[in-house]
Structure 1
Amino acid sequence: VDGIVGLSLQALSLAPRFSFLDNLFNDARNVLPQFGLMIGSEKGFLYFGGHPIPASAIYWFPVRSPEEGFWQVPIHEVRVGGVVVEECSQNCTAIVDTSAHRLGVQDLKIHDALTPQRVDGICRGPNLEFDLGGLVVSLGADDYTDASCRADVGRLDLTHPGVVSFGDTVLRHYYVAFDWKNQAIGFAPVSMTV
């Protein structure tokens, strides 16, 4: 989460005084140092100081390597159609990225395992699942395919192996909560937020 406002962790700021969130939460009194994001198909919402959903609906995970400045969480394994395609023995990581329109993957095994096909005019394919260890982020074929029923997954070219970018494709299905003080990310399935 970065974008124009600069919602990343402090490590990506030029200096602490340039961190929007650091300034907001350090100067505010009696404000929960958390914010949340909900993205819909036509509009989205950004909440500061609390969440519009019950705390019990949010699954929290510690930020992996907060010194890198990204809101990122470990992935335990990746499955396509229920079959493990990445065991994540190399420390797979999901970066929550509000500026990314689609899902981004580094591992071609994931992309190659996605085999959508048009059947009776409907694009069908295996579910793509990211097991975060306590919550499974699941995407259907309609989430990761384009209008011509091809896998529309961006390729990431990064030095660290096992990185996945949770962009708009994932964020449409989950309310995402960010805990500035405790450096944690929470996910709540959109169905639980209504």
Structure 2
Amino acid sequence: MTITVSGKTIEEAIAKAVSELQTTREQLSYQVIEEPQKGFLGIIGVKPAKIEAHVIPDSVEIAQSFLQTTVSLMGQEPTITKTESNDKILFHLTATEDTGRLIGKRGQTLESLEYLTNLVCNRGEQKYRRIELDIGDYRERRKQALEQLALRVADKVKTIKQPSALEPMNALERKIIHEKLKRVKGVETRSEGSGLGRHIVILPRH
């Protein structure tokens, strides 16, 4: 919604716009239509300042709308709930149909949706806002599966005393493996490869 507001000065017009739109100065976008002008002898024919103003859309709301539209085009109509914390914003999708289609193989579709949603949210923003997507508690189930895999492979490495490479994973999943095995005696981890082929190697440690 765009409104036109007048005031004795531009600052007064801005303050009125902020009040009428019930927003903050930071979220207000405005354009000066008319500069204030003093009349004859500074009194007669005084002309007020006039501005057009509107509220800058919240980037997180834009990102949520983008996500809703995108998954709708995929033939899904999930409910999206938002939870905010200090370091991230979580969009949790509750689908009524095929959740597997939104998750994809090893979570690749969900990762792609998350990547695109973050691009939309942070386009033109000075402060980065991190968005994570989850559906049907997939993230927690995937984390538990990765931790169990890490422990199984670590036991194997300690037994055969030979390195073992895991399948390629994204940075978040590699971090889960590193963190899980950081305090496990007898093994160490390192990331190798590049791009989509980046993976973890678990090695015996003497």
- The normalised TM-score by structure 1 is 0.23
Compare relative contact order (CA 8 Å, sep 6+) and give the higher one, 1 or 2. Answer: 1
- The structure that is helix-richer by fraction is 2
- The normalised TM-score by structure 2 is 0.22
Choose 1 or 2 for highest CA Rg: 2
- The structure that is strand-richer by fraction is 1
